[in-house]
Amino acid sequence: MHEEIYIAGIGGQGALSMGQLLALAATSENKKVSYVPSYGPEKRGGFANCGVTISDRTISSPIISEPSVLVVMNNLSLKNHEDSVIPGGIIIVNSSMVDLGVKRSDVHVISIQASEEAEHLGDVRVTNSVILGALLELTGVVSVSAVEKSFEQILPKRNLDMIPINYKALEKGAELARVLKKEWSNLS
Amino acid sequence: MKGNDAIGEGAILAGCRHFFGYPITPQSEVTHYLAKRLPEVGGLFMQAESELASINLVFGAACAGARVMTASSGPGISLMQEELSFLAGSELPCVLVNIMRGGPGLGNIGPSQADYFQATKGGGHGDYHIIVLAPNSVQEILDIMKKAFDLSDMYRMPAMVLADGIMGQMMEPVVIDEEKSIEIPPRPWATIGRDYHEDRNEINSLFVILEEMEEVNLRLLHKYEEIRAKETLCEDYMLDDAEVALVAFGTVSRICRAVVDKAREQGIRAGLIRPITLWPFPYDVISRTAKSVQCFLVVEMNMGQMFEDIEIGAKGRAPVYHYGRLGGMVPLAKDILEELKRVSERGGTGR
């Protein structure tokens, strides 16, 4: 198992938290892992990306330039990173925020209206957990329970009461991904 | 654990109980972490009003015999250079951490290796060196902090841990070995008052009699020669049968290790040399390798700074090439591989 996951969005969408949850969950499962964030100096609205490599073998380079999984949470992120995904890789799109289409035909694309789904659950802030639920369902890179256990360490203390709704969001994301996965056609 | 947190925890594990500093991206988590952790272990954390004040506080604490450190990024480290020269001249132990960012000037907060010259060739005035260590993983950051304090104490001189913004910001799993006992060597030279030692201790870098100054310089020189002989650290990978030797430190050495694997898959015999001490520099390894490889390819996040040390080490026996990304950009594995293919088919030397 070797996955290179790149998560791209803007500050406040939870890209970095998602990456940290994955990294912590992988550590608890004794997998090799590296997490590298990349963000601008802006207080609000700047780009916020991170790369998480999870593997059975020692990770040479922690820098991801050709991800196997790409998560995009705004138009610019899709435009900037679409071409980097390896053929046969996965692009997960939060279509609540992204209206551009994916041009690549040699990758799997999963579009989820994650922000709307999060709002239905009661809090738009769990958008990233909806996406993370889908990612876990599609890749199995770490177990859902390992991610669930990681929330306590990643969430700030004042938000610990949001753990149950995050669990629901993970479940919702997984449910959506299961349905969409069935519609995956063979790649050209 | 995050690289910057590992710097803080590594310092605590090494018995450091005094930190003076000022936050700057991409180093800020070091101050953040130690502000919380040092009081928990009975230490002192102080956020100074500036980097100038920070390094002068370090000077004072070092005089009093404390295991003391500061941390900053390029712009802050530049402000500390005058005092660094004074610390070297006064033969005081202390540890500095530089989490390098894009420059010159204020530059940006992207990762960079542009402070190599400043760190290894001395950014302050006078004839001096500091020990410079360049880790390439979060685990190594944690372990190298103790190494930095120990070397600094043993040779009574400043040591610097030089890492880029990626090292500071990235997270990797670490194993913390708390069993290790900390032995901080006695400091009979410390200026802690006549109650503690009979003779008058003096810490000074002013020697108005020229002969006396030369004696101090010669003492430093002999110390530096001993360090060069005993403390040089370097790691290599797949170097034995290599035709092209990549040379890189810090984050870039991780990327280059992946490049070596990819090159080997394609039948190119590539290897990697990773200096861990940037001063003292492993010239011997370069000289030895120059006899067996067709060429060197030095990869850095700068215009070619360590490149010059490879040229010194290679002594013209093998051509030396440079590939660099600048301004906070990170070289990509596929671009390095392409450059590797290009230089392995070409003679001469260049950037």
Q: What is the pLDDT of residues A132-161, one digit of tens each?
A: 999 999 999 999 999 999 999 999 999 999
Q: Once rounded to an integer, what is the mean pLDDT over residues B252-276? A: 97
A65, B333: Cβ pair inside 8 Å?
yes
B254/A35 CB distance under 8 A: no
The per-residue pLDDT for range B2-30, each reduced to its tens digit, is 999 999 999 999 999 999 999 999 999 99
- Residue that has been written with the tokens 């950009």 in this structure: B329
Q: Would the pTM count as exceeding 0.90?
A: yes
The position carrying tokens 């435009």 is A79
- Amino acid identity of residue B348, one-letter, is G
B334 vs A: CB within 8 A: yes
Task: Answer whether A150's CB lies under 8 Å from A25's CB.
Answer: yes
Q: Judge if B3-230 and B234-344 fold alike in CATH terms.
A: yes
The per-residue pLDDT of chain A, averaged, comes to 94
| Residue of A27, A35, A61 lying closest to B254 (CB–CB) | A61
Q: Mean pLDDT across chain B, nearest whole number?
A: 95
Range of the domain at A61: 2-182
Examine residue A93 and state whether it is found in any structural domain, yes or no: yes
- pLDDT band at residue B256 under the 50/70/90 scheme: very high
Name the band, by pLDDT with cuts 50, 70 and 90, for residue A43. confident
Q: Are strands A69-72 and A2-10 parallel, antiparallel or unpaired?
A: parallel
* Placement of tokens 């738009």 in the chain: A124
What token pair was written down for B117?
Answer: 């010259």
- Parallel/antiparallel/unpaired status of strands A32-39 and A47-55: antiparallel
Alpha-carbon distance A128 to A134, whole Å? Answer: 10
The two tokens of residue A158 are 């004042």
**CATH for the stretch B3-230:** 3.40.50.970
Thinking of the domain B234-344, which architecture would CATH place it in? 3-Layer(aba) Sandwich (3.40)
Q: Work out the percent of chain B whose per-residue pLDDT is above 70.
A: 98
Q: Is residue A188 part of a domain?
A: no
A interface test, pick of B1, B108, B141, B170 with most A CB neighbours within 10 Å? B170
Which of A165, A61, A9 has its CA nearest to residue B260? A61
What is the pLDDT confidence band of residue B198, given thresholds at 50, 70 and 90? confident
Residue A134: count of CB within 10 angstroms of its CB: 28
CA distance A32 to A53: 8
Question: What is the reported pLDDT for A188?
Answer: 46
Evaluate whether residue A129 is within a structural domain: yes
- From the list A110, A127, A108, the residue with the least C-alpha distance to A168 is A127
User: Domain segments of chain B: what residues?
Assistant: 3-230, 234-344
Which backbone phi and psi does B298 adopt, to 5 degrees? -90, 125
List phi, psi (to 5°) of B174: -135, 155
Chain B residue numbers with beta carbons less than 8 Å from the beta carbon of A61 are 254-255, 257-258, 333
DSSP secondary structure string, B28-88? HHHHHHHHHHHHHTT-EEEE-SSHHHHHHHHHHHHHTT--EEEEE-HHHHHHTHHHHHHHH
CA–chain centroid gap for A143, Å, is 14
Reply yes or no on whether the pLDDT at B196 is more than 80: no
The ipTM assigned to this model is 0.88
